[in-house]
Amino acid sequence: MTTTADRTLGEVAPFRNERVKDFKDSADREAMNAALRAVKGRLGAQYPLVINGERIETEKKIRSLNPADPSQIVGVVSSASRQEANAAIDAAARAFESWKRLTLAQRASYLFKAAELLRRRRLEYDALLVYEVGKSWPEADGDIAEAIDFLEYYAREALRYGEPQPVVPLAGEHNELVYIPLGVGAVIPPWNFAGAIMMGMTAAAVVSGNTVVLKPSSDAAIIAAWFVDLLAEVGVPPGVVNFIPGSGSEIGDLIVTHPQVRFISFTGSKEVGLRINELAAKPQSGQKWIKRVVAEMGGKDSIVVCADADLAAAVEAVAVSAFGFQGQKCSACSRAIVEEPIYDEFVARLKRRVAEITVGDPENPENYMGPVVNEAALASIMRYIEKGQSEGRLISGGKRVGENGYFLEPTVIADVAPDATIAQEEIFGPVLAVIKAKNFDDAMAIANNTEFGLTGSLYTSDEAKIERARGDFFVGNLYFNRKSTGALVGVHPFGGFNMSGTDSKAGGNDYLLLFMQGKTISRKV
Ligand code: NAP
C-alpha cells in the first residue's frame, strides 16, 4: 500500500486552487456565524513560546487586540527574550540533524496532512482573522484558502524536487543533481496575510528540509500560535518549527545575525527588509556561510487607465484594489494613473462607486471595509491624508470613522502630481492618489517612477499598448484588464522588483529553490 509518506508526484492529484466561499450562501453564512461565536468564546487565551516542542511561558507578554474594538483581547502570547531566542535557534540546529535526513516526499506528507486539517478548521481560522486583523469575511476566507494552497502547492513542489533532476548523460560516469536543505532559518512574516504568508513561508522552509524559528508579527501572533499547534498535531517533530513571538526591534537583530542562522525569510516593509539584508551580509564570528536573504517588501502599485479602456470595469477594479482589506495589501492599488480624455469622467464615476463602500466592524458581513490594523497605522495613514490634501483635491473620505476601533473612510485624492509624497511612499491604508497622464507614454513613465515594482495593472482595449506594457511596465506581477490584487498560488507566482524585494515568486515553481542548495554527485562507472 502507498502511504502518504511515500507518494510520488504522479500519485497525487494535480494542484487546484481552493475555492473561496460565497457567504451569500446561507449554509456558509450560518457556519461562519457559528465559527465567530465559537472563536469569540476562546478570545483572551494565553499562548506560550514553543521551543523544541516545549511550551514556555515568559513573564513578558504581547497582547493581540481586535482593531475593531481594541478593548477586546484576542489573545496573549509570551514574548521571547534574547535568551529564549538563542535557545530556539539551538533547538532548531539540533532538530536539523534528523529532519534533513528525511526525504522530500516524507516531509511533503506533513504538509498534505496540515492542509487537510486546516481545511477542516477553515472557518475557525477565518473567524480568528476577523478578530485579530480586522478582515472582512471574504478577505479572511481568501487568506486561509491561500494558506491551504501554499501547503498543497509546496508539498507537490517538494515531490518534484525529490525526483531525479535532468543532467546531460556522459559515458563512463553516473551523474546526479540533488537538492539538500540549507540549515536553520529565521521566518519573519508580516501581519497582513497573517494566515497565508506566515504559513507559506514556514511551510516552504521546512518542507525543503530546514528547521526554523518563527517570529510572527506582533499584530498577528495568535494565528501563528494556532498554526504551530496544528503542525505539532500532524506530527511535525519538536524543534522543526520553534515559535518565538517577540518585538522585532528587541530580538530581530539577534535572530538575523546569529551565526547559526543560515537564511532569513522575510516579508514586510522596505525599511525592515533593508536592515535585515544589511545585517545579514556581515559574517559573524563562527559563521561558515553567506546568509541567504529572501526579502519581500513594500509596493506603490498603479492601475493605468487608458482612454480606450472599458471605463466601468476600470473603476470597479480600482475601487476593489484600493480599498479591499482597507488598502493593506502589498498589491493594493494606491495610484490610479488616468489618461487625460477620460480623467474627469473616471474621477466622477470613482467617487460614486466609493460612496457605496461600507465601513464598520467586520464581524458584520455587510461591512466591506473593517479597521486598519493598529493605532500607529491609523496615525500614520491620517498623516498621509493630511499631507495628501495639500498635494491634491480630496474627492472622497479623509476622516476617521467613530472613536472606538481604527476605522477610516475610503479616501481618494485626485490631481496628485506624479512625484508627490502620496504618489511615492507606501501608505498601506485606504488612500488612493489619482494622477492625470497626458497620454500613454506619459502614463507608462509615471507608472515606473517609484522605487518599487510589485504589481501593476493596465486597462486598455489597444493590443499595441498591451504589447508595449509587457516589456516596459516594470513590475513583478503585471495584469491586463483586471484588478491588481488577488494573486493565486501557482497561477500568479508573486514577488516584486526594485525596492519591492528579491522577486522570490512565492507560489511559483522556483520558490523552493530559495530554501535549498544543489549538490552534484558524480561516480565513475
Ligand atoms: P514590518 O513592520 O516590516 O514587519 C514585518 C515583520 O518584521 C514583523 O514580524 C516584525 O515584527 C518584524 N520586524 C520588525 N522589526 C524587525 C527587525 N529590526 N528585525 C527583524 N524583524 C523585524 O511590516 P508589516 O507592517 O508587518 O507588513 C506590512 C509590509 O509588508 C508592507 O510594507 C507590505 O507592502 C509588505 N508586504 C509585502 C509583501 C510582498 O510579497 N512583497 C506581502 C505582504 C506584505 P514586529 O511585528 O514584532 O515588529
The pLDDT tens digits of the residues spanning 41-87 come to: 999 999 999 999 999 999 999 999 999 999 999 999 999 999 999 99
Smallest CA-to-CA distance from 132 within 212, 211, 76 is with: 76
pLDDT digits (tens, 9 = 90+) for 237-269: 999 999 999 998 899 999 999 999 999 999 999
**Per-residue pLDDT band at 7 (split at 50, 70, 90):** confident
How many other C-beta atoms can be found within 10 angstroms of the C-beta atom of residue 17? 16
**pLDDT for 2 beyond 60:** no
Q: What is the Å distance from ligand 1's center to 379 Cα?
A: 18
Ligand 1 centroid to 166 CA: how many Å?
A: 38
Phi-psi region of 246 (alpha: psi -120 to 50; beta: other; left: phi over 0): left
pLDDT (0 to 100) of residue 4: 53
Q: Using the CB atoms, write b or e for 407-424: b if 16+ within 10 Å.
A: bbbbbbbbebebebebbb
Q: What is the pLDDT of residue 306?
A: 98
**Mean pLDDT along residues 354-380:** 98
Active site residues: 296, 330
Say what the pLDDT of residue 5 is. Answer: 59
CA of 266 to the centre of ligand 1 (A): 7
Q: For residue 355, what pLDDT band results from cuts at 50, 70 and 90? A: very high
| Residue that has been written with the C-alpha cell 524543534 in this structure | 239
196-221: pLDDT as tens digits: 999 999 999 999 999 999 999 999 99
Tell the residue nearest (CA) to atom 13 of ligand 1: 248
All three cell numbers of 213, joined, read 524559528
The chain-wide mean pLDDT, for the chain, equals: 97
Q: Ligand 1 site: residues with CB under 6 angstroms?
A: 188-193, 197, 215, 217-219, 247-249, 252-253, 256, 267-269, 272, 275-276, 296-299, 330, 426, 428, 454, 494, 496, 500-501
Residue 25 pLDDT level (bands cut at 50, 70, 90): confident
- Helical ranges in 258-301 per DSSP H: 270-281
User: Which atom of ligand 1 approaches the CA of 296 most closely?
Assistant: 41
Please name which of 429, 480, 477, 474 lies closest in space to residue 304, comparing C-alpha atoms. Answer: 480
Residue owning the nearest CA to atom 26 of ligand 1: 190
How are beta strands 261-267 and 184-188 bridged, if at all?
parallel
Distance from the alpha carbon of residue 248 to the mean position of ligand 1, in angstroms: 9
- Per-residue model confidence as pLDDT tens digits over 127-160: 999 999 999 999 999 999 999 999 999 999 999 9
- Other beta carbons less than 10 A from residue 373's beta carbon: 26
**Side by side, which strands form the sheet with 45-47?**
45-47, 69-78, 61-66
Q: In what side-by-side order are the strands of the sheet with 241-243?
A: 54-56, 49-51, 241-243, 211-214, 184-188, 261-267, 292-296
Tell me the C-alpha distance between 478 and 302, whole Å: 10
Closest residue by Cα to atom 23, ligand 1, is 268
Residue in this structure with the C-alpha cell 525529490, named with its chain if needed: 162
